Chain A
């Protein structure tokens, strides 16, 4: 446990040791602002909720989360520090979760810094803060899902750009798996059970469900197991690719 914590601290510190963290946070806040106010018509809708704010999160994460996750393992490989890390007395699970949790915590910090918009909506009107809290939880879970995918992909390569691009593509697939292009691809030949399974993988569906204010156990299990599966795959990939 203390080892996971040591890895976590080092990794999280790594984000803030370079300008990466600050650039990321500023851009994240700026873009959420643009989307919410310009594209989402936050004011014109005349409703005291954060719907326009959260609706854009999946698309924002599609590009910003891979930017956080791409360095996780690719950088270790590139710098050769993976050999150092893997010869320290750290169980593989501790290394993988420590790094993942650091990236997730960082995403959480960026997300938490959007709090002014929550204050704004509370000043302007009388929103349902329960729904907003649920949406924040949903957003964070979705970020975790993206990060687990990204972490796993990052372990496959020493090139961060490749890690970024592949993660974006994979996440895009997961995001829209319940929607026409993907469903059209499968519906021509796959049985209904497969169609349902594929549709069940859609981040959008699960995120929408949570951001309506209903934290359903099924959605929690979905994101939880997705994270677990990809982190497990992450560990397997590292074990296989050390040589």
Chain B
């Protein structure tokens, strides 16, 4: 058998706990020697994925191969991987030396060799002379260094790192990032790194895997992920961005904020609704000049060290975030320009809500676990399972969950320049999407009302 250069192969892995699915059909290959980062917000399943690789949890379905071998029934202590834990997990009953030597002693490595290897590992993490210190007397940064030394001293094929720098302060984190990167190139082993810090992911990795809600959103190099986000979630999560609703008029021409812009994207079709992403540093801001593509008024301007961050309101009610080396006083009328190559067009994941429901009678349908009044239906039997659709703007959210017909929790908020695009998960587990000008907070409990005339019911044609 020819060995592939993939050290880890994850195929169709699903992990569900009694009350929720944490990983949904995840497939991923990790190349030998690469620095791969799994990036996502908390609760996206990234740590679970790492724990499956380490063997602390087992997948509900799917397969994980490490170095070509199926790991399904291999316990953690027999896997060729070592883990660096978020909270260090150093053994408080051993000193620094014994912590690092723990794995080697278990493998019955020769005493002299253990000593050499521990010393080398300590040197690598810059902790020479700390051998006999009590681990609890060390600072967080030092403890994490010991934890890294304890893992790499075993020369694993893959080093798994679970948010190893999350508990450190900013300065220490930056230093450790550089050291990890150097360590990776000098050790030549594969690193699988989990973090929620997008900057860390972009700085360190060869490959970034962006995850959300248990699903891989995008896999690519840091530049790919940053410059060509594949959907609004990735664009929003990685770096700052202006995400706007747009219409692709034809190849190379896109319309948003009521104006037409040249762009370089093709292949979306004609007059197709899309999302565009423009990074704040890609918007050129100039004194109100004839040359500008569009105009606006500076609302706020904050100095951020290297650049100024400004929010500009356009006359049409859009808000554009801009980063520039020049500052403009709030209230200043300015002009703005965007280069065609800096407009990133993304296919919309959806243009309206679709849920499955059950027809109650000609004007009522059961969706989201409740009975809603709907536009008059003809020709469908009562009690039939039907496809129900309604627009993003046809939903009204209420502060008090009891005021709505159904209710749910706000799971994701995306700002689109002039409105918020909310994802609300109902009790039944359905996701519905809402466009609104009102400001809501993540995890707010809301009531859901839908305009009856906007609810369209169509029969599900049997395949």
Do A and B interact with each other, yes or no? no
Which A residues contact B (CB, under 8 angstroms)?
A: none
